[in-house]
Amino acid sequence: MRYVRRARSNPGLQAQHCAAIEAVADICDAATEGVEVGSEAFTFEPRVAAEEADEEEPVLGGSTSVEVGTAGSIPLVFDALLPVAAALEEPIEASLTGGTDAKWAPPFDYFQHVKLPLLREHGLDAEASVDRRGFYPRGGGEATLTVQPSEFDPLALTERGDRESLTAYSVAEESLEEDEVAERQAEAAAPDADREIEYGEADSVGSAVVLAAEYEHSRAGFTGLGDRGTTAEEVGEEAAEALAEFEAGDAAVDSHLADQLVPVLALAGGEVRVPEVTTHVETVVDLLAEFGYDVAVEDDGDTVVLSA
């Protein structure tokens, strides 16, 4: 792999990318070179580590434990593991330390309550749990993903239908409980939604809210992340505005879930109606083409249909 993230302001592999490669390499018995922060090129060769160790058979599946470092995103590492782990003949268990709710990445509750339930409805057998929250900048969160061998069903996500439920998952570091930060985030995000409020010990002060919407035929999620100088109400309003914008259109899944579903779409086939072609969607589609997977992108003016 060459030219990794070359167009970014911080090009090359970052901590969570290195952790993702390491975790996938563990369960695929792969040999790697050049996997380090800042590297713009690396190699990944599955099923060769056993040969180098003069072992008869590679170990595919099993357990892996990876420290992402600082607040590098644990959910992004789990994203990399899902399609690989589902195709193996043995179950996997991945235990990670790092950021559970980090900048520029889906919060853990989005992964657990939006993405995983939707993929379970399409054949995936997987569970995720969080033992400790990890906020920016120190991270220190702990979470586990287990995946059983699975076969994805074709994705049929072209209509969302009526909304059937809405839940606000609001979490904050324990020192923020006196100011009711998690409750205020949830109230600002959706006053009439069901609520799951959580406070917990963490290495850094932080908070996050996820609105998980379940529709007749699909699911979507909308997030807000706490930061210095941002009120709890502003965090909740960020999620509320994203929900309102989504429901004003006709897409079946939100824009963040769109690019995350492209690898599954390439493997299983089907159709997914998304709000727009983001740069993340373009990147994943182009990357999959290098491996021989053709994902079609059809823009009808209001939404975009991805198909394979």
Residues known to be catalytic: 280
Give every CB contact of residue 48 below 8 A, 6+ residues apart in sequence. 29, 30, 31, 58
Residue whose token pair is 């839940």: 167
Q: Which is it for strands 296-299 and 304-307: parallel, antiparallel or unpaired?
A: antiparallel
- For residue 93, the surrounding DSSP H or E stretch is strand 92-98
Q: Cβ atoms within 10 A of the Cβ of 35, count?
A: 18
Exposed e or buried b per residue across 54-75, where buried means at least 16 C-beta atoms within 10 angstroms of its C-beta: eeeeeebbeebebebbbbbbbb
CA angle (39, 42, 43) in 5-degree steps: 170
| Terminal CA-CA length for the chain | 24
Residue 299 structure tokens: 């823009």
Q: Write the CA distances from 180 to 134, 156, 174, 188, 227, integer angstroms.
A: 19, 40, 10, 12, 16
83 neighbors 267 (Cβ within 8 angstroms): yes
Burial of 233 (0-12, 13-18, 19+ CB in 10 A): middle
Maximum Cα interatomic distance, the chain, rounded to a whole number of Å: 61
Give every CB contact of residue 143 below 8 A, 6+ residues apart in sequence. 74, 78, 95, 96, 100, 108, 128, 129, 130, 131
How big is the chain, counted in residues? 308
